[in-house]
Structure 1
């Protein structure tokens, strides 16, 4: 019988991010937001990708994840049911990237849902940054790298992960509790306090952040610049002529157009990533955390990790993010280190890395079959999860 062991097209990836889901295999791909919207006016629940972006509706959003951890399986299954079909998954495997520090209870529940509800034949939960490592292997056309350092700044948090010869060095793994969601909420609250009430428009606020915000290369100097130096406008949709908003440099639009004005907010929001103390969080930024992580590694090989830094995640797409982080690391490292940062500039890097992993020789050994899970139980197999 044709199954996942013989046929790569039966090896699926479920990249279940706390903001967006990517599901598919080598020949097909499905992408959607990982949330449910509740229409305040009608009480209707919305799952469809396009409808979630309807800025004309006042919506309350519900997410299955809290701080990057899947906690509400009922909501999550309601979302998965839109594209996962148990009848079609009988002879298939699912690779599921998950973030570090995910509780065992959550991983155990994932096994139950995948085997008992979706009827998959094999399940492979695996570290998200390990899949970014496989993305690096695919990009560089190599089968293995001895030194790799991943900085993954995504929706819920930022992870810094040293990988030696394909294995995560857990002593150096670090998490910063700042991600895109916190930045969007900060911008949303700022705009709501000063201009328009956007408290029920999370996706609109996220869009404004992505269009207008950027990382300052010299934050304190930029903050001294005169008012309106960084001013840009976001023209809100009117849902008659325009269904979507857009950004402009100069206010050359009609007087009746509703607009948002952003000035220094364009740099203060991304600065939270680098200086969490700006909003009173007692955490280090990515540069300090990077060196704290390296301090757990023997000093003779620290420089090799600095030569192989890869940055990924939605926040890494802020303009100047790469340059700012690269400059800060170079300014604080040993003079004989050849620091090199590479941006994994595909927003689907984890998904693509997982597809590469599914084609690798390591894949089958990393999978757990339904029969194996039923025979041994989660407690006896969790130690082998990579």
Structure 2
């Protein structure tokens, strides 16, 4: 059976035939402006859900195989509204005319060999904390934090626009800056004091001029800035942007931080599984690549977790493609549930809910 798997993310699509050695990455948005310095972007995904299947269909049209006999495997977020699920299935069977279709929860595809785990998926639109009991999602224990890579980039964009250059229309550029300079602080108050008294290092990011240079770059400390180069100077922003993960209330979000969400999720599981879950906390997703994240998270969790529980973190070798690789393993296992086009035409979307599970 030939399977084409697509992991639909808010930032990008990870896709490819599961028989291939690796996957491809395609940006999951459309540019509405040709200006490189001020790009207007339309995204089909909002708050983690595909809300515009017309736009999403146009993007998928360019990457899906022409052979409709392939089984199309899509990732679908937990708690997707029924209306959006109906649109997704309609696009698969009626617009793209695929003969077979399957859908999986992305977090359940990460580290499949571990039967008991707490998957912390730090994605583009949000962060999901998903306990897996015997490999299955415990829906009542799932927690979601409305902080992801997009919010962190937007916050950094506002900070530098207020203090330096107006970067409000430069999401891609600021996203690149965030990935290069931001890190989780292991002692936030002390680090803030160092920036205040000038002992911490302020980084300089050289902005592209889009004539001779198309990409920015991080300058060496103490390097003289050429007259023709504009730079972003990043001091406090290095640590205050990732701090939103641990204290969302800093920007007005009435939610517990990442460490609080993990404790809430695991505490909602049966008590005899909690020790196992704390020993198998899996960090995945693009935002999980922030430097010092694992160390800071352990520091925040230890006072909240019973002393007799061991806390251990696992990271995936490829946080961006971990879900797609899980889909690849599922397809090769021969146990993937499938809905055919004939079954869909006879029973409608009810057959998808019954066979593919409650998303």
Q: TM-score range by the shorter chain?
A: over 0.9
Q: 1: distance between equivalents of 2:303 and 2:201?
A: 27
- The residue number in structure 1 matching 2:79 is 101
Q: 1: distance between equivalents of 2:10 and 2:327?
A: 17
Q: 1: distance between equivalents of 2:38 and 2:131?
A: 43
Tell me whether 1:19 sits opposite 2:25 in the alignment. no
- The residue number in structure 1 matching 2:202 is 231
- The residue number in structure 1 matching 2:104 is 126
State the secondary structure of the residue aligned to 1:217: coil
Q: 2: distance between equivalents of 1:362 and 1:274?
A: 38
Contact map agreement 2:338 2:355 (CA 8 A) in 1: no
Q: CA deviation at 1:40?
A: 5.8
- The residue number in structure 2 matching 1:84 is 64
State the secondary structure of the residue aligned to 1:15: strand
- The residue number in structure 2 matching 1:314 is 286
Q: CA deviation at 1:385?
A: 2.1
Distance change >3 Å, CA 133–CA 103, structure 1 → 2: farther
Contact map agreement 1:214 1:266 (CA 8 A) in 2: yes
User: Match for 1:327 among 290, 299, 316?
Assistant: 299
Q: 1: distance between equivalents of 2:329 and 2:78?
A: 20
Tell me how large the CA RMSD over aligned residues is: 1.6
State the secondary structure of the residue aligned to 2:32: strand
Contact map agreement 1:153 1:313 (CA 8 A) in 2: yes
State the secondary structure of the residue aligned to 1:233: strand
User: Match for 2:274 among 280, 302, 321?
Assistant: 302
- The residue number in structure 1 matching 2:156 is 187
User: Match for 1:63 among 43, 47, 53?
Assistant: 43
Q: 2: distance between equivalents of 1:97 and 1:295?
A: 27
Contact map agreement 2:157 2:171 (CA 8 A) in 1: yes
User: Match for 1:165 among 131, 134, 137?
Assistant: 134
- The residue number in structure 2 matching 1:369 is 340
Q: 1: distance between equivalents of 2:322 and 2:222?
A: 35
Gaps of 5+ in 2: none
Q: Give runs of aligned pairs for residues 132-147 of structure 1, distance below 5 A.
A: 132-134=110-112, 137=113, 145-147=114-116
- The residue number in structure 2 matching 1:140 is none
- The residue number in structure 1 matching 2:146 is 177
Contact map agreement 1:133 1:166 (CA 8 A) in 2: no
Distance change >3 Å, CA 226–CA 79, structure 1 → 2: closer
State the secondary structure of the residue aligned to 2:271: coil
- The residue number in structure 1 matching 2:173 is 204
User: Match for 2:313 among 335, 341, 349?
Assistant: 341
Q: CA deviation at 1:57?
A: 4.2
Gaps of 5+ in 1: 5-9, 42-55, 138-144
Q: Give runs of aligned pairs for residues 212-231 of structure 1, distance below 5 A.
A: 212-227=181-196, 228=198, 229-231=200-202
TM-score by length of 1: 0.87
Task: Work out the number of aligned pairs and report it.
Answer: 351
Q: CA deviation at 1:251?
A: 3.1
State the secondary structure of the residue aligned to 1:325: helix
Q: CA deviation at 1:104?
A: 1.5
- The residue number in structure 2 matching 1:278 is 250
Q: Deviations over 1:135-179 (max 9, x none)?
A: xx2xxxxxxx33111000100000001111111111111101110
Contact map agreement 1:38 1:59 (CA 8 A) in 2: yes
TM-score by length of 2: 0.93
User: Match for 1:151 among 113, 120, 130?
Assistant: 120
